[in-house]
């Protein structure tokens, strides 16, 4: 696997127009930020050696080199999910490549179901911690020589970046929540009973991504900031049916504030 990682990184290094140290992973329906990026070069995933190809609606499937607010960035418009049939190593392959390209800070975003009764649809939740409820850890197997065999996860999400996000949100009057994100394998949405169980475990939001990427980024020594858009609420008194189209609509409505927040953060 590491040979393929190096092969992909070298292919991109020969073609990348800039040398970003900041990367962004854009999740379901979160294309607003991509529109704000001044594109210098775009690579469809299918053209990149060894890259998986996203099959999920709302994921463009492109790697973007460009500038956001005048700052060099690398952005993934669309990610890979365990439920698509990829291995954990394939899901996190782009993060390994990012490290080889010199990325130091990673911004991850997603659409998530809220389990916290104080949340509302459309809320932005800054991720302060996570619970890995997926069936496999992406570090399982031979240790990739970018980090320790047993990495500490005490600060998977940078407290420094969280503080900066809070300050920017306050400055612009953007309402943000803080909470714990729990990752399941999907692709089913959770039952009301599962939502209630996850809430008792300490989860504020539930989704099907992000955690594997964060684990690998942390293993590589990359600082991480994560944010969820709360697109539905589960486990409440009144059951609600959840569809992917509904999730995309809710995510799209909340995009402008998330885009502004991340754009401001990359400038600091």
Q: Which is higher by pLDDT, 238 or 73?
A: 73
Residue 68 parent element (H or E)? strand 62-68
Cβ burial 91-123 (10 Å sphere, 16+ → b, else e): bbbbbbbbbbbebebbbbbbbbbbbbeebebeb
Structure tokens at 113: 């179901």
The residues, any chain, with a CB within 8 Å of residue 141's CB and separated by 6 or more, are: 89
Predicted TM-score (pTM) of this structure: 0.91
Looking at domain 2-266, its CATH architecture is: 3-Layer(aba) Sandwich (3.40)
Transcribe 186-236 into DSSP letters: -SSPPPHHHHHHHHHHT-SEEESSSHHHHHHHHHTT-EEEEEEEEEEE-SS
Question: For residue 187, is the peptide bond before it cis, meaning its omega torsion is within 30 degrees of 0?
Answer: yes
The residues, any chain, with a CB within 8 Å of residue 236's CB and separated by 6 or more, are: 117, 192
Instruction: Check: CB of residue 250 under 8 Å from CB of residue 231.
Output: yes
Confidence at residue 54, expressed as pLDDT on a 0 to 100 scale? 63
Mean pLDDT in residue range 242-246: 64
Strands 71-77, 62-68: pairing is antiparallel
Ranges of each domain in the chain: 2-266
The Cα–Cα gap between 45 and 101 comes to: 16
Q: Taking 90 as the threshold, does the pLDDT of residue 2 lie above it?
A: no
Structure tokens at 177: 């929540």
Mean pLDDT in residue range 66-70: 93
Q: Taking 90 as the threshold, does the pLDDT of residue 89 lie above it?
A: yes
pLDDT per position as a tens digit, 3-58: 899 999 999 999 999 999 999 998 765 677 888 899 999 999 999 999 987 665 54
Structure tokens at 90: 């394939």
The Cα–Cα gap between 43 and 103 comes to: 17
pLDDT per position as a tens digit, 175-217: 999 999 999 998 998 888 999 999 999 999 999 999 999 999 9
Distances from the Cα of 3 to the Cα of 97, 179, 215, 255, 263, angstroms = 11, 37, 20, 37, 34
Handedness of CA 254, 259, 264, 265 (dihedral sign): positive
Q: Taking 70 as the threshold, does the pLDDT of residue 223 lie above it?
A: yes
Token pair 């020969």 is found at 14
Structure tokens at 35: 């529109």
Read off φ and ψ for residue 227, nearest 5 degrees.
-145, 140
């Amino acid at each position: 696997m590491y040979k393929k990682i190096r092969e992909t990184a070298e292919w991109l290094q020969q073609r990348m127009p800039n040398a970003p140290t900041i990367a962004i992973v854009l999740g379901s329906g979160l294309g607003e930020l991509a529109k704000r990026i001044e594109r210098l070069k775009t690579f469809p995933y299918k053209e990149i050696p060894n890259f998986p190809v996203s099959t999920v609606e709302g994921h463009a499937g492109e790697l973007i080199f460009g500038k956001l607010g005048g700052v060099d960035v690398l952005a993934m418009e669309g990610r890979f999910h365990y439920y698509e049939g990829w291995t954990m190593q394939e899901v996190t392959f782009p993060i390994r490549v990012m490290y080889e390209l010199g990325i130091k800070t990673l911004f991850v975003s997603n659409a998530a179901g809220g389990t916290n009764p104080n949340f509302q649809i459309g809320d932005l939740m800054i991720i302060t911690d996570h619970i890995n409820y997926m069936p496999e850890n992406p570090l399982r197997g031979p240790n990739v020589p970018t980090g320790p065999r047993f990495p500490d996860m005490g600060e998977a999400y940078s407290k420094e970046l969280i503080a900066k996000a809070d300050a920017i949100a306050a400055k612009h009057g953007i309402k943000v929540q803080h909470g714990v994100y729990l990752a399941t394998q999907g692709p089913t949405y959770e039952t009301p009973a599962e939502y209630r169980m996850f809430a008792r475990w300490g989860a504020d939001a539930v989704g099907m991504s992000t955690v594997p990427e964060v684990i690998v980024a942390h293993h590589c020594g990359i600082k991480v900031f994560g944010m969820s858009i709360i697109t539905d609420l589960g486990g409440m008194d009144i059951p609600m049916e959840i569809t992917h189209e509904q999730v995309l609509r809710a995510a799209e409505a909340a995009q402008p504030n998330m885009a502004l927040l991340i754009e401001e953060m990359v400038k600091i």
